[in-house]
Structure formats: structure tokens, C-alpha cells
Amino acid sequence: MQIRATAPGKIKLFRKGREKIIRNILKKIKRDLPKFPDDIIDQWVFQYAKDIGWPPGNIMYDPEKRWSAILRGKDLDYWAKIEWRKEKKTLTPTDFVHSDQNIIAGLMMANVLGSHNIYSHTVPDTKERFDRLCEYMVENGSFPRIVALVNVTGKYLIADGCHRLAAYFYLLGYLRGATDEVPSLNVAKEQEYWIGK
């Protein structure tokens, strides 16, 4: 088999083309979600838009309806109206909507106890992500990036940060009794969140 070297000029053109595509995606996201802070766009929406296209709902780029899951079953109009601000809070799993309590519990069960559930089967790197998050939080006492939540009638819906929250609640001891492992007390109970309303 013969391998041909790619000319440096072709690589440069490819990079410029890729950069232009990325700039266009970001421009469209900011147009459609004008109230979203850059941090939330970067850590949540943009990561998926690069992979499956923007705007959501384009069947050509999202045949598996991944955007519906990513946007929590809410349409783009819903998210465009959300206003965000940073708040420091001390939360417990019961502060979340019931479905998100189940997500947090399911992620802890899959990643700490090795339970076979939807998260262990559908998120290929769930254990590695969970472990990295735990290591980071034990060292630093806080999330590596601010979790984004939406206040829905007094309870919180997780927009982005399910793994971070599962690792956080595990380290605070919310899985105590199910495992002999001693979680970390180095993690601050009060954390900074993006809160959308």
C-alpha cells in the first residue's frame, strides 16, 4: 500500500474551511439563542451542533432525534426565552425534577456500583467521565465547569451537567450504604450554577 503525503496547502485550506463552518454554526446558535451565555453555548449546545448540525430538528442531520434528548424534549422557542444568571446554591437530589433525580441515581449506580442500566449501555465513556469528574472535584472542591439548570416551578431541570451532578452527589455521600467506599468531604456543598428561568 502506498501512502501519499498531503500537501501543506491542502491542509491549510481544510483548516480554514473547518474554521469557517465552526464560525457559522456559532453565529447561528447565537442568533437562535440570544440570551444564552457563551459558556453554556460552548459546553453544551455547540458540542452537539458540531456533531449533528444546527438548527435542531433537521432530520437530515439528526435522524435519531438526538436534539430532542439534548434539549430535554423542549423546542428551540422554549430555550430562546430562558434568561440565565449565575447563582451559588447548596442543592440536594430532591431539589431536581423527578426525571432528573432518576438520571442522577442511574449514573451513580452505573458508575459506582457497575449496575447495567440505560447509562452504562448508551454512554460509551460514562465510567471514564465519572471518574475524571470525581478526581477533579476531590482535588479542587468544585465542578470543572458550571452546571446549567432551569428552574421549573421550584424544582430544577438539568440542562447540562448530569455526570457532574452525579459525581458531586456521590462525593457528598448520597450513595452511602450502597457501597463501602468513603466519598470525599473535600467537595464544597455550595457550588456555582447557571440558573435559567
The pLDDT tens digits of the residues spanning 34-54 come to 999 999 999 999 988 988 888
Query: What are the φ/ψ torsions at residue 58 (nearest 5 degrees)?
Result: -75, 105
- Mean pLDDT calculated for residue range 146-167: 97
- Specify the pLDDT at position 60: 53
Grid cell listed for 127: 465510567
Looking at every residue in the chain, the average pLDDT score rounds to: 86
- Mean pLDDT calculated for residue range 10-27: 73
- Mean pLDDT calculated for residue range 88-99: 97
Under 8 Å between Cβ of 187 and 172: yes
- Specify the pLDDT at position 174: 86
Query: What are the φ/ψ torsions at residue 189 (nearest 5 degrees)?
Result: -70, -40
- Specify the pLDDT at position 176: 66
- Specify the pLDDT at position 1: 46
Higher confidence at residue 183 or residue 94? 94
pTM, entire model: 0.84
Higher confidence at residue 165 or residue 1? 165
